[in-house]
Amino acid sequence: MTSVFRYHGLRVEIAGRAVVQSLDLAIAPGECVALVGESGSGKSQSWMAPFGLSPGIASGEAWLCGEALVGRDEADRSRLRARHVGFVFQQPLTSLSPHLTIAAHLEEAFTQAGGARPDRATLAAALSEVGIDQPQDRLRQFPHRLSGGQRQRVMIAMAIAHQPALLIADEPTTALDATLRREVMAMLTNLCRKRGMAMLLISHDLASVADAADRLIIMRQGEMVEQGPTRDVIAHPGSAYGRDLLAAAPRLDGPAPHRPAIGALLLEARDIAVSFPHPGWRRGRLQAVDQATLTVHEGEALAIVGGSGSGKSTLARAIARLGPCDAGEVSWRGLPLPPRDRIRPAERAGFQPVFQDPVASLDPRWRVADIIAEPARHLGSGVSQQHILAAMAECDLEPMLADRRPHELSGGQAQRVAIARALITDPAMLILDEATSALDVLVAGRVLDLLARLQRERQLALLMITHDLAVARRLCHRILVMDHGRIIEQGDTESLIRSPQTDITRQLVAASH
């Protein structure tokens, strides 16, 4: 059978450095191949460079519908892109031109391969096909009026409008809410099956493409380490890296992890409410958190799980006195906690946060040792060099990193520095705000291991904010599910995952499988 898209010995160089080496690939019509790897594995460069969409220089062989891609000029490549390929990108929020209506975007997509100008009904039908309601109204709107999920659906409608032979989707669901990912991925696969389109799917997350892809290719540092039919690769990974990758991702099935014993009541938050002014010119306020009540005991890990905009981070920041809090009370070890502007050092020292973006949460101009020492400097009576090195050692950071600055650290190292900083005042509780979701699977797995060890060794309580039930299950005793600012469901981790009571929880469970 002839393939729609084929590489033989593809190599991509950026500034003289090889980022992809000897990659072979063939996709038949109607087939879906997934390219999986961590950031820096070269998975995106391997398709962007041959199409001339990145500064990378491709060599070797790349064939699209019988035409060579390598060595062609920009005019040829843009003609080939327009005619035969549809692209879906990771960034639905920014991939549409802000000053053009949805209709203008779709029209451009329909005519890009030389097709006739479509009428309104055709455009509306194209929107309906990708699951957008009220398509007639949407056509008139500008992209900023649409939600992230809707924009990604528009991108998909544009990608298939000119009946391409090949669809390339680079992390098409990563930027979407957990509850939407499955649905969008299923829609993509269905569209491909229905139209006999070939699909190249690029992802960092093995689990998210496992259902969609017929075949898997695992890449690492620019090289293919494993490939084969999806089922075989997942059941019997042939390479050590493939095994690590499969084992690192937290799962909802499998035996429940051991969780340490729980002590006395540590933190109690009652009827917390937070509201923000509506963005833009609209009047009124948006209730981000409404009447949220929760408790955390010594040594207990509690997860707050929800989609984006559910209010989970806002709630955690209100409790930690790091964000606005309109109403409600928080007590710490039985005593009321003063509001944000009056909180005392001794109270601050008891609970410390770790944020999502590890590099951004460290002052770029400070040395690692100073960063780690900062809480002790303000909240305690200072700290010795030995103490800093001990905290670093506890978080598996080498002493030589003490003089580095944040931009010289890897993502995993930066997050360990943030954890070491949080531990320097010897707190009773850590507040983890999506602390592992910006990290690669393997790195995130090791940071979760570190947190589990700290939890065990230090009797540390954890308040964990995450969109991922599987991550929550790895550490937490109990789970709260939030939606639209309210706590809609809570319970012991295993039973909540086994028998979810609300639709939102059921979607979250489904998204994590």
Partner 1 sequence: MIGLVLRRLLASIPTLLAVILLSFVLMRFAPGSPFDGERPLDPETRAALDAAYGLDQPIPVQLGRYLLHLAHGDFGPSLVYRDFTVTDLIHSGLPVSLTIGGLALISALGGGIMFGLMAVLRPDGPLDRGLMLSMTLLTALPTFVTGPVLALVFALWLGWLPVAGWAAGAPRYLVLPVLALALPSMGAVAKLTRAGLAQVMEQDHIRAARARGKTGWRLISHHALRPALLPVVSYAGPAAAGLLTGAVVIETVFALPGLGRYVVQGALNRDYPLVLGVVTLYAALIILFNLLADILYGWLDPRVRG
Partner 2 sequence: MNRLRLALPAGLVGLVLLAAWLLPSLLPWDYRVIDWDHVSAPAATPGHVLGTDSVGRDLLSRTLVGTRITMMVAIAAAFVSLIIGVLWGAIAGWCGGKVDALMMRIVDALYALPFMFVVILLMVVFGRSILLVFIGIGAVEWLTMARVVRGQMLALRHRPFILAAEAAGAKAGFIVFRHALPNMAAVILAYLLLTVPQVVMVESFLSFLGLGVQEPMTSLGILVKEGADDMDVYPIALLVPGGVLVTLVVCLTVLGERLRDRWAA
Cα separations in angstroms, 437 against 55, 118, 173, 354, 405: 28, 42, 14, 12, 22
Separation between Cα atoms, residue 177 and residue 423, nearest integer Å: 31
Helix (H, G, I), strand (E, B) or coil at 508: helix
Residue 485 near residue 290 (C-beta atoms within 8 A)? yes
The closest alpha carbon to 269, from 345, 323, 349, belongs to: 323
* Binding partner at 282 among partner 1, partner 2, none, C-beta below 5 to 8 Å by kind: partner 1
Q: Which position among 132, 155, 320, 509 is part of the footprint of partner 2 (CB under 8 A)?
A: 320
CB of 14 to partner 1, least distance (A): 16
Question: What DSSP line would sit under 197-251, residue for residue?
Answer: -EEEEEES-HHHHHTT-SEEEEEETTEEEEEEEHHHHHHS--SHHHHHHHHHS--
Sheet holding 461-466, edge to edge: 351-354, 429-433, 461-466, 301-305, 478-483, 486-492
Sheet holding 166-170, edge to edge: 85-88, 166-170, 198-203, 32-36, 215-220, 223-229
Q: Which position among 172, 299, 375, 500 is part of the footprint of partner 2 (CB under 8 A)?
A: 375
| Helix 178-195 / helix 148-160 crossing angle, nearest 10 deg | 10
Q: Which position among 95, 150, 314, 352 is part of the footprint of partner 2 (CB under 8 A)?
A: 352
Per CB under 8 A, 282 contacts partner 1: yes
* Binding partner at 378 among partner 2, partner 1, none, C-beta below 5 to 8 Å by kind: partner 2
Give me the numbers of helices (H) and strands (E) for the chain, helices first please: 19, 20
Q: Which stretch binds partner 2 (CB under 8 A): 143-151, 178-186, 294-302, 347-355?
A: 347-355
Per CB under 8 A, 395 contacts partner 2: no
Between 123 and 417, name the residue whose CB sits nearer to partner 2.
417
Per CB under 8 A, 83 contacts partner 1: yes
Q: Which position among 18, 70, 322, 390 is part of the footprint of partner 2 (CB under 8 A)?
A: 322
* Binding partner at 360 among partner 1, partner 2, none, C-beta below 5 to 8 Å by kind: partner 2
Per CB under 8 A, 173 contacts partner 2: no
Between 84 and 317, name the residue whose CB sits nearer to partner 2.
317
Separation between Cα atoms, residue 453 and residue 462, nearest integer Å: 12
Q: Which position among 142, 411, 488, 510 is part of the footprint of partner 1 (CB under 8 A)?
A: 142
Per CB under 8 A, 160 contacts partner 1: no
Q: Which stretch binds partner 2 (CB under 8 A): 83-91, 103-111, 282-290, 346-354?
A: 346-354
| CB-count exposure of residue 102 (10 Å: 0-12, 13-18, 19+) | buried
Q: Tell me the pairing of strands 327-332 and 265-277.
A: antiparallel
* Binding partner at 421 among partner 2, partner 1, none, C-beta below 5 to 8 Å by kind: partner 2
Between 95 and 352, name the residue whose CB sits nearer to partner 2.
352
Per CB under 8 A, 110 contacts partner 1: no
The closest alpha carbon to 191, from 139, 126, 134, belongs to: 126
Binding site for partner 1 (CB under 8 A): 51, 53, 74-75, 78-79, 81-83, 85, 87, 89, 91, 94-100, 108-109, 112-113, 142, 144, 155, 158, 280-282
Q: Which residues bind partner 2 (CB under 8 A)?
A: 320, 322, 345, 348-349, 352-353, 355-357, 360-365, 374-375, 377-379, 418, 421
